[in-house]
Structure formats: C-alpha cells, structure tokens
Chains A and B, each alone.
Chain A
Amino acid sequence: DVKVTQSSRYLVKRTGEKVFLECVQDMDHENMFWYRQDPGLGLRLIYFSYDVKMKEKGDIPEGYSVSREKKERFSLILESASTNQTSMYLCAGGISKSTDTQYFGPGTRLTVL
C-alpha cells in the first residue's frame, strides 16, 4: 500500500516560533501537496510541488513556505507562527497521470498559543 507519513500527529507551538511540518511518501510520487483543514471550510491547498525543488502556490500560501530537496520529502514551514494558523494540516502525494489518486497522510493537528 502507498504510505504517506507526517512527522507529528499533534504539535503545540508559541506565537512567533518557526515551525516545520514534515511529510514523507514511499511511492516515488512526483506530486506532493499541503492542505489545511478547518471546520466548515473543507480542505484548502497551501502549496504543492511537482518535482524536486519545484513548488507552486495554492489557494492560501500567505504565511507559509515549502521545501522539497528530495523527491520523497515535502516540508511545510511556518516562518513565524500565528494563532490563526492553528489548524489540521494534511499532506498528500500523487503521480502525474490524469487518473491519479492522491494519497493522504494522517494529518498534524497544530496549535499555536
């Protein structure tokens, strides 16, 4: 089975801290995605990457950056965490075929105090 793992299930940080969320996939997927999930808003795309060192902004990139130095790893960075970034963060991987299914990680519940 395809596996997408995220470094933490729960994370608590303070306002102003730099936060790293890590995502690793084991299926050689070209595409990787970071979503933010909030009640009543569904999933919103923050950033995605279609190749190593390549990245594109999604719908809500403000306050976030990403890094993809290796194909299997895609990191989401909060440069200076704020309380409005308290949320569930989901990572997904997928291959570049039109029939592709995205496979999701278990999510990281981030609380910023």
Chain B
Amino acid sequence: AQTVTQSQPEMSVQEAETVTLSCTYDTSESDYYLFWYKQPPSRQMILVIRQEAYKQQNATENRFSVNFQKAAKSFSLKISDSQLGDAAMYFCAYRRSSYSGAGSYQLTFGKGTKLSVIP
C-alpha cells in the first residue's frame, strides 16, 4: 500500500521569504501522480500543483514549485515570496496512474503541514 509522510506538522515563514515543505512517499509503482493541496482556514481544499512521475522536469505554478526526486521518493513544495494568504494547511497526496480496478484513482494523503506566515 502507498503511504505519504509529511514530517513537519507545523512551519512558519516570514512574509516575502521562501519556505520548503517536505513530503516523502512509498510506492512500488513506477508511474503515478503527486499533488500538493492547500486548505486555508475557510476549509475549501484547492489544488496547488501537480507532478507526473514520468516527467523529469519539476512542476511550477507562479510562486509555487516542487523538487521531485523520484529515486529518493521525495516531493517537496517551495513557496517563494510568501504572502499572508499562503497561511494554510498543506497536504501532499499520491495517486497511481495505471488503472487496476475501481479504487485506482483514490488519493492517499499525508497528515498535513500547517504553515503560518509572519507579517
């Protein structure tokens, strides 16, 4: 079974600084997808960024980028120029890409990292 581990329950960053959130995962699959989701205090979970395992290039979305190390099974999220609106719970998630039955597309989540942004 796949597992996702976020080793930092809480982190803080100064406004305008850069912060990196860690995520490791365990899988025997060779192809899969990794996600970072953000959940602000309003509770609506939204997708921040997605990485396809077969792509070597790290995904980027504006101030958000990932460092995907497939061999190490590591998928960290870097937030540059942190803003007050970045304060939220961040969840790392895994999903297999190959179809092998009805449960193939469910997400496996880590326990989350609470990010605080200090003005």
Contact = CB atoms under 8 A, between A and B. Distances in A.
Contact of B9 (A40, A58, A102): A40
Nearest to B4: A42
Interface in B1-58: 9, 33, 35, 37, 42-47, 50, 52
A56 B91 contact: no
Given A31-B105, A54-B102, A99 B33 contact: yes
Contact of B111 (A40, A48, A94, A106): A40
Question: Which range contains the number of A residues in contact with the other chain?
Answer: 20 to 34
Interface in B86-119: 91, 97-99, 102-103, 105-107, 109-112
A98 B98 contact: yes
Which of B44, B47, B52 has most chain A Cβ within 10 Å?
B44
Contacts, number: 59
Given A88-B43, A98-B99, A43 B91 contact: yes
Nearest to B101: A56
Given A43-B91, A98-B98, A101-B50, A106 B43 contact: yes
Which of B42, B97, B105 has most chain A Cβ within 10 Å?
B105
A107 B43 contact: yes
B55 to A, nearest CB: 11
B111 A41 contact: yes
**Which applies to chain A's interface (DSSP): helix, strand, loop or mixed?**
strand
A112 to B, nearest CB: 19
B106 A98 contact: no
B103 A99 contact: no
B38 to A, nearest CB: 11
A50 interface: yes
Contacts of B105: 31, 50, 94, 96, 98, 100
B13 to A, nearest CB: 21
Contacts of B102: 48, 50, 54, 56
Contacts of A106: 42-44
B106 A104 contact: no
Nearest to A33: B106
B59 to A, nearest CB: 12
Interface in A4-62: 31, 33, 35, 40-45, 48, 50, 54, 56, 58
